[in-house]
Amino acid sequence: MNETKKREVGGFLFNFPPAAIAFTAFFAVALVVRIVGASSTAVADAVTSTVGAAFRAAMATVTGWFSFSLAEMLLLLSPVFLGLFIWLVVARAK
């Protein structure tokens, strides 16, 4: 009962898990960067030469560790991830 009252007092954002708020904020920032980058070549070049270069270097390092790309690995492991997700949801529902 106290938990319900505490959540009602907290406001709108308090009703969501912190991970959901973080992912939504990350998505909003990414959307703004995408829109601004699409309309301004200077911003697109800046993102490509700074953050984009670091991201590409990280993905190249991971790809160097495996004989195939990270996307292929995620695709091949997707049934395992799906099974793990279903198992976690069922275990948490009990």
Q: Domain spans of the chain?
A: 1-49
Q: Decide if 69 contacts 63 (C-beta within 8 A).
A: yes
pTM reported for the whole predicted model: 0.48
Print pLDDT tens along the chain (94 aa). Answer: 555 555 555 566 667 788 888 999 999 999 998 899 899 999 889 888 998 899 889 888 877 887 777 778 888 899 999 999 999 999 888 7
What b-and-e string marks burial along 38-53, b requiring 16 or more CB atoms within 10 Å of the CB?
Answer: eeeeeebeebeeeeee
Whole-angstrom Cα distance, residue 24 to residue 6? 23
Whole-angstrom Cα distance, residue 2 to residue 33? 41
**Phi, psi values for residue 49, rounded to 5°:** -85, -15
Length of the chain: 94
